[in-house]
Structure 1
Amino acid sequence: MKFSFNEFHLWHQLGLSLMAAKKWVSAVSVFKECSMMRPEDPSLPLLAAKVCIGHLHWFEEAEAFSQRVVSMGEEAGEFLPRAYLALGLCFSLQASRATLKADRNEFNKRALKALNKAHSLDPHDAQISMYLALQLALVRQVPAAMEALQEALSLQADDLNSLHLLTLLLSAQKHHRHALDILDLALSQHPDNFNLLLTKVKLEEALFGPAAALQTCEDMLHRWQSCYDFSRLSDTDDSSSLPAAEKSEVSPVVRKASIHLNLPDFQDASIGSLSPPSVAASRLEAAFSEVSEVSSSRRQGPSYIWTTLESIWLQSGELFMADGRLKEAQFCIAEAGLLFPNSHCVLLQRGRLAELRGQMNEAKSLYDEALAIHPAGERILLHMGHLLVKTGRVHLGEKVLRDAVQMHSTSHEAWSGLGEALQALNHSEASDCFFTALELEASCPIRPFTIIPREL
């Protein structure tokens, strides 16, 4: 490149090549250089914004790139609606990251304004309609979100994110059976999408109970192994949720074909109750020793493969805890811990397990560790607050739950927990908290709307 000063074509190809090689920071730098060579080309800032939003999470930089295209006005042509879409996504993502309610409300307001502008400029863009619906859902305007989403589906009926969002909106309206039907339709087209499968688990738990949902978790483990057992990974498996560009990255990795992922079962089938402690312990020890043999091979390949497996194990552990099967829950949480020992999600589940066993000091210590890693974690703050109230430290519990409400103002559980703490302190505002919790619960989806990816 040192002999190609101001050769736009070569610089542009270099930027695209760096994107393909996942060298995101370098790609942005090259697109900046390209944009200086051709400042009238709106596609270049949008390419940089795409990388900043989807991979680097540089939302302020992406906003600046998008504003550059917006400032071109009509000269940007067909790229102008996309620039407003990029702006809307930047503001929406910054709202999700904001810890102060005032900042979050301002970002959400700006996101809606930008997305409405994008939609008015190009009402036939299915992606713009879908993201407008998502933003409306994020601020709990569920009927308006459903209307915008119907537009998106009329333009592109088989869009994965639109179908997933429809499922979440139906669950927010408490139409869980209908939501599961829509989800099954989406899964018929994308059977290996683990984000959809995790939503299916939550819906099945709500409809049929934790025991039924565990079967889907078991299926997910087997599906994960069939997708990511790299000795058998097929380059032609287009239904996999693994991006096509990344299949080549992981396909050379060889794993032992004898590895089998299964949920534990420490119950005695002949009597339908828990096995004696010694038998259960020996089974657990044997299971752990088998896991130790393969743990060294588990961290090969891209990290999202292993975060997916972690999510499956933790979801299984959560269902076992809901079903009162704590030994099985311990096994699943330990499996997740082998993958990511310092994960705040693992520490949270370990804390919940300790709390269910009555080990309150151990639970608090684990929640403290999780908060140190992820101070804004909604579930961590909730469980810590509840634990403090339960153990008599009501004033401290109230403070933690107020933090949860401040950072997660649409969480009905946070408002309900704060109401319980204030009620224990005989505060009159407890009833207001309970009323707010009821209002928010009426529009709460089965999983957060933020699980829908926001990217150009």
Structure 2
Amino acid sequence: MTSRISFSQYRLEAEIEKYRAECQWDKIPSMVEQLAAARFHDDDDYGTLLLAESLLEECLLENVSLLRCSTPLTDHSHPKLARAKAHLNNVLSRGRMEPKYFNEALVLMAKVHYAQGRYRDSQGMCARAGIDELMRDERPIYHLRLLAEAFVIKGLSLDHQAMSAASRVRLSERDEECLSCYLRGCDTALLYLQELDKTVMTPSTKTAKTSVSIPPLEMEPGYFLQAALQSAYLSLLHKGHLAQGTHQLRRVLRVVESRGSQNFRKAVARRLAEVLLSSVSEDGYWSPTAPPPPAWLNKEGTSQSKDMIYPSPRPPQRYCTDSSFCPQDVVEEAVLLLLITESMASADAVLSLAPEHKEARETSMSEASSIYDLLSIGMARRGQYAMLSECLERAMKFSFNEFHLWYQLGLSLMASGKGIAAVSVLKECAKMRPQDPTPSLLAAKICINQLHMLEEGEALAQSVVIMAEEAGESLPRAHLAVGLCCSLRASDASLKFERDEFNQRALQELQKAHALDPQDPQIALYLAMQLALVRQVSAAMEPLQMALALRSDELHSLHLLVLLLSAQKHEQHALDTVALALSQHPENFNLLFTKVKLEEVVCGTAVALQTCEDMLQMWQSRYDCTRSSEADDTSSIPPPEPGHLSRKPSGLHLTLPDFQETETGSQSAPSLAVSRLEAAMSEVSVLSSAHRQGPAYIWTTLERIWLQAGELFMAEGRLKEAQFCVQEAGTLFPSSHSVLLLRGRLAEQRGNLLEAKSLYDEAAAINPHGHHILLHLGKLLVRMGRVSLGEKVLRDAVQAQSTSHEAWSGLGEALESRGCNQAPDCFLTALELEASCPIRPFTIIPREL
């Protein structure tokens, strides 16, 4: 009978220990009743101790927010705390407990004193408790929790005690003692979670026989257990010890994961990523498996990390780092941490919109937002906007009406070049916050700059204009956006009355924008440009001078000044200005093309050809035709999205041809010309084999250089050299309408009129609204005697570009050839337009928001 009672007592106590380990405090009172009914522990206060612990822990769980704010709990306001305190006082005063249970009562009383703000009494209880007794291997698992809590309560109590008159040495000693408590408390808490996980994963034989499956471990850690896990790294970071704080965070993450530590690990990973991104530079980074560098430790006043100074007698189990992947730089480690954390946060997100889940939903959303903000910072440093947008798209499932995440998604899509998706997302953002003009303006910017969806962009900008004063500083930008849309639509319009209407609207909107914000240099620039487009050249000078006064080095303002000077036929002044602009923007090809045109007029084609030669060499040095093939295979983050090509030498040599024969015949004999042409063709084959890697504008720039050189050679009558340049451009883009146009002009100059017409027809089929193509085709038809058809094509050219004096002049010649009395009017219009014609069209300056 005694044996049976002893076994029953053992089983009941084992079940109590299990509930205490798993913090199932609601089941303790029924266990105490069973103890009393079986008359176990009648000679001590074990049952009273259990009741006191359950009441205390329930009270602490209900008041975690007050504990975090260090707000003392009173007996009057918290009856559970008062009852637990009374039970513990009785237990400690009677002294009828075994030593291990007596130590437990002391730790629980330390919790009571700390919760009530009596930190010195709490420290005294921890000092009285036999901590070493709790650390024995044969002790139950819940002793590890009590031990971890005892360490952190002692450290927190020391931290809260005022020491105004203490010496610096005493303060340092107290800080060291606190930190040693925190470090040992953290390791003990992690060990407790690991041991607890083992008991759930490996149940007893009897449980295994009767249970079909093991329920997942669901334990809500109390305030002191959370503090034990976090206080070490928080204390180090708070004191400014970034290296040691980072090292502690990494140590925690290397601990073998348990199910009870998943939320904690998520918080630690996020905090480590935050510290890495905000405080660790690329040069100061050290490997996660290595200790902090001595230079960092010396700055923090120590020679080795604190975990080496205060080692734990029973450290938790850690993962082996042998043969494991290791990040190579600070951004890579931070992004990897955040991607892992993001997957956990996404999986744990609260999807329900029910009112009872509102608080949990707001908490999970706050955590997710902080993770995605850090991801945005880390991935932006590597230009990984496409990957960032994919991460944010996964967050949409739990981000209903969450403006911040939607806005981040829109920005990431915008940065990664996914314009249509970005506009859709930003329009949703505008619906969420109709009073905020920024999403609509950003969507309008994408429509103008990337998508050329001008009607959509104008509608979005008008939605901001309608806000009037509520739009604040965004109102001038909204008028600017509307003006740019109208200006671009005028350039696209095929009918003259539509073009005039859009130009008038654009001018009105830009004048409104300038009146609202006369200090905005971009608005002043585009107002001047719009005036220039409608050939009010003198009037355009005033707002342009204001734009240059506000930003004297702005590229487009300087370029527009050059074009306006050339339109006023001050070519030399324009050439001097373009030289000044190039001194500030030496590698801008658009300026260099303008310089070539001016040099052709002012200095002659030889000087212009030399500039083309320089442009070819600049292109080769800036955009080599091979990319670096050596990639860092050790990095887990993909390389940045394509930007400039690498400058690794490729062996390709770009130079203009020279097939001229001099009087001595030393430079270019026929055999030398043939050999140079063969060498050039071999270089072309090298170029074509490069598959034109990189952005398309790089190769269109090279094509334009070859075509510009070809035009100059044609102007000098050097048709062989011009043919070579056309072949080079055609190798890059065989179906380019610009290449076909120049090939047609070359054939026409050689007298091959039928071949020229065929090439012009091909170019017109590709670009039916290109006024240069229509101009040359129309003039050729007139020359071939097909005057009526030529007149029709020239009228199309005038319709496509009504400010082209060449088109009006060609139309006048066609009308004159058949005796039409409208020819003089066309010639007069051509003369008026030529008087204000710039060296290159004003539209070469981009109109972007």
Which residue in 1 is equivalent to 2:714?
321
Aligned mates of 2:737, 2:652 — CA distance in 1: 27
1:87 aligns with 2:495: no
Return the offset for 1:423.
Answer: 1.2
Give the letter for the 2:571 counterpart.
H
* Superposed CA offset, 1:193-245 (max 9, x none): 00000000000001112121000000001111111127699xxxxxxxxxxxx
Return the offset for 1:257.
Answer: 2.4
Structure 1: gaps of 5 or more residues: 234-245
Aligned mates of 1:91, 1:99 — CA distance in 2: 14
Match of 2:417 among 6, 22, 27: 22
Task: Give the conservation status (yes or no) of the 8 Å contact 2:777–2:793.
Answer: yes
* Superposed CA offset, 1:359-418 (max 9, x none): 110000000000001111111011101111111111111111111112211110011111
1:105 aligns with 2:500: yes
Match of 1:198 among 583, 590, 593: 593
Return the offset for 1:123.
Answer: 1.1
Match of 2:548 among 153, 163, 173: 153
Which residue in 2 is equivalent to 1:186?
581
Give the letter for the 1:62 counterpart.
G
Aligned mates of 2:595, 2:645 — CA distance in 1: 32
Task: Give the conservation status (yes or no) of the 8 Å contact 1:221–1:262.
Answer: yes
Aligned mates of 2:695, 2:627 — CA distance in 1: 17
Give the letter for the 2:522 counterpart.
Q
1:448 aligns with 2:841: yes
1:371–1:231 distance in 2 versus 1, CA, 3 Å? closer
* Superposed CA offset, 1:304-337 (max 9, x none): 1111111111101111111111111111111111
Q: Map 1:188-267 to 2 at 5 A.
A: 188-229=583-624, 249-250=642-643, 256-267=649-660
Q: Map 1:261-300 to 2 at 5 A.
A: 261-269=654-662, 271=664, 280-300=673-693
Aligned mates of 2:538, 2:834 — CA distance in 1: 15
Return the offset for 1:128.
Answer: 0.5
SS of residue paired to 1:267: coil
Give the letter for the 2:659 counterpart.
F
Return the offset for 1:283.
Answer: 3.1
Task: Give the conservation status (yes or no) of the 8 Å contact 1:255–1:297.
Answer: no
* Superposed CA offset, 1:58-107 (max 9, x none): 10110010010001111000000000000000000000111111110111
Which residue in 2 is equivalent to 1:413?
806
1:174–1:355 distance in 2 versus 1, CA, 3 Å? same
Aligned mates of 2:823, 2:674 — CA distance in 1: 45
Return the offset for 1:278.
Answer: 6.2
Return the offset for 1:274.
Answer: 9.7
1:251–1:381 distance in 2 versus 1, CA, 3 Å? closer
Task: Give the conservation status (yes or no) of the 8 Å contact 2:627–2:646.
Answer: no
Match of 1:7 among 382, 386, 402: 402
Give the letter for the 2:688 counterpart.
S
Return the offset for 1:136.
Answer: 0.2
1:12–1:195 distance in 2 versus 1, CA, 3 Å? same
Aligned mates of 2:841, 2:813 — CA distance in 1: 23
Return the offset for 1:285.
Answer: 3.1
Provide the aligned C-alpha RMSD in A: 1.9
Aligned mates of 1:341, 1:128 — CA distance in 2: 39
Return the offset for 1:266.
Answer: 1.3
Aligned mates of 1:230, 1:19 — CA distance in 2: 28
* Superposed CA offset, 1:125-156 (max 9, x none): 11101100000000000010011211111111
Which residue in 2 is equivalent to 1:243?
none
Aligned mates of 1:294, 1:256 — CA distance in 2: 13
Aligned mates of 1:232, 1:268 — CA distance in 2: 39
Aligned mates of 1:43, 1:126 — CA distance in 2: 20
Match of 1:385 among 778, 797, 817: 778
Aligned mates of 1:247, 1:163 — CA distance in 2: 32
- With normalisation by structure 2, the TM-score equals 0.51
Which residue in 1 is equivalent to 2:455?
60
Moved more, 428-437 or 126-135: 428-437
Which residue in 1 is equivalent to 2:163?
none
Match of 2:736 among 343, 347, 366: 343
Aligned mates of 2:606, 2:647 — CA distance in 1: 34
SS of residue paired to 1:120: helix
1:166 aligns with 2:561: yes
SS of residue paired to 2:398: coil
Moved more, 12-21 or 410-419: 12-21
Return the offset for 1:294.
Answer: 2.7
Question: Bigger relative contact order, structure 1 or 2, given CA contacts below 8 A and separation 6+?
Answer: 1
Which residue in 1 is equivalent to 2:426?
31
Give the letter for the 1:389 counterpart.
V
Aligned mates of 1:417, 1:218 — CA distance in 2: 33
Aligned mates of 1:298, 1:114 — CA distance in 2: 45
Return the offset for 1:189.
Answer: 0.6
Aligned mates of 1:97, 1:290 — CA distance in 2: 39
Aligned mates of 2:790, 2:668 — CA distance in 1: 38
Task: Give the conservation status (yes or no) of the 8 Å contact 2:653–2:683.
Answer: no
1:138 aligns with 2:526: no
1:272–1:427 distance in 2 versus 1, CA, 3 Å? farther
Which residue in 2 is equivalent to 1:308?
701
Give the letter for the 1:329 counterpart.
A
Structure 2: gaps of 5 or more residues: 1-395, 629-638
1:247–1:147 distance in 2 versus 1, CA, 3 Å? farther
* Superposed CA offset, 1:409-442 (max 9, x none): 1110011111111111111211111111111000
- With normalisation by structure 1, the TM-score equals 0.94
SS of residue paired to 2:642: helix
Return the offset for 1:23.
Answer: 1.4
Task: Give the conservation status (yes or no) of the 8 Å contact 1:394–1:425.
Answer: yes
* Superposed CA offset, 1:238-293 (max 9, x none): xxxxxxxx996235768652111111111234547995666534532331122112
Moved more, 285-294 or 115-124: 285-294
SS of residue paired to 1:268: coil
Aligned mates of 1:231, 1:372 — CA distance in 2: 34
Match of 1:396 among 776, 786, 789: 789
* Superposed CA offset, 1:173-199 (max 9, x none): 000000011111110010000000000
Task: Give the conservation status (yes or no) of the 8 Å contact 1:412–1:440.
Answer: yes
Count of residues in Structure 1 that have an aligned counterpart in Structure 2:
444
Which residue in 1 is equivalent to 2:132?
none
Moved more, 17-26 or 196-205: 17-26
Percent identity for Structure 1 against Structure 2: 70
1:175 aligns with 2:570: yes
Aligned mates of 2:549, 2:695 — CA distance in 1: 36
Aligned mates of 1:3, 1:97 — CA distance in 2: 43
